[in-house]
Amino acid sequence: VTILIALCPFVTKTAFLLVLSSHASIKFRSMMKFGRFVFPTLLASASAFSPKVAPRAFTSTRTALNANVLKLSEPTKEILDKTDVFIFDCDGVIWRGDSLIPGIPETLEKLRSLGKKMFFVTNNSTKSRAGYKKKFDSLGLDIPAEEIFSSSFAAAAYLEQTKFKESGKKVYIVGEVGICEELDNIEVPWIGGPDDAGKQPDMGPGGRLEHDEDVGAVIVGFDRFVNYYKIQYAQLCINENENCEFIATNLDAVTHLTDAQEWAGNGSMVGAIKGCTGQEPTVVGKPSPLMIDYLCTKLGLERSRICMVGDRLDTDILFGTDNGLQSLLVLSGVTSEEKLFSPQNTITPDYYADSINDFFLEGSKTSGSTSSASSATS
């Protein structure tokens, strides 16, 4: 086109536009032809590198963490007057490992004297409700069994809600006795669990692991005796049994086996099964709404008057914010003040405190009732 203009200054405006139009048309057709072959390839390539994010069963209310989060300074005004029901996580809030956090018995007694209802909700599935009642008793805490909810109980409640028993199927358990006891309570047959501890599949030439084709659900809970046999058995059930459901009690990354250090949590067991099945589990523990829906429906609780208290941002606090509850983070467990205010954190509690003992600390104002991200991480 440039050459044409240089050689033919007498070309009329109309002729120039015709030439330009013809040139553009040829170029456009070439691009379309190119696009039919290249664009699908590019799109396929892009989708191959795009992360596959499974849809969550509940709506998240996560927001970017602002410069400050309130540290509890006037507990009566900020929490106690607004709350009728407290839901407490256990590990990191009431105890660490097998050690009771100092001051907890007195704090719980004071809350009861104020007429507050309390529930204790743990993602640890190694014990049933009856098993946790024994643990509370061993620590000198007189907690009624009906106030205790574990993720093993949540798994059984989920099977009841979905009428699993009517299917005539059984459950394969990667987990410990807590899940087994809860399934016994609702008369759902199960295999695996502690019975498969120490087993090894035949991995010699031609070796194979036969599995029960009558398994209709695999429940994965925390398992201190997890092994390759259990992982293989679970993946066979999920991959080969028609409509076999994959259920996880929780996705906690770490847990408190002892008060000396953090230990790999159930997220590691669930991750192993996800990795070999390509399936996302139905999660029944926190932050899933299953337990709070159960409590509110059964007891007629008002969500806005419930406060979730926990030491984990991604389970306890998210459980509160996603389900319309008040939320209080305590620093007596896995989450530090530095982590709370880190740029990577996007989960915001209403308040945070050193422990639940701060509910009754007179003059508990610390230096400044708010903390900024810069001061917390400096």
Q: Residues with catalytic annotation?
A: 84
| 186: number of Cβ within 10 Å | 13
- For the record, the structure tokens of 257 come out as 């086996």
Helix, coil or strand: residue 378: coil
Q: What gap in Å lies between CA 270 and CA 306, rounded to an integer? A: 30
Q: What gap in Å lies between CA 159 and CA 252, rounded to an integer? A: 21
H-assigned helices in 114-227: 129-138, 151-161, 177-185
Q: What are phi and psi of 51, to 5 degrees?
A: -65, 140
CB of 333 closer than 8 Å to CB of 91 = yes
Among all chains, which residue has been given the structure tokens 């358990």?
173
Q: What gap in Å lies between CA 175 and CA 230, rounded to an integer? A: 9
Q: What angle do CA 367, 369, 375 make, to 5 degrees?
A: 65
Q: What gap in Å lies between CA 182 and CA 110, rounded to an integer? A: 32
Calculate the alpha carbon distances from 35 to 4, 24, 27, 40, 266 in Å: 29, 16, 12, 8, 47
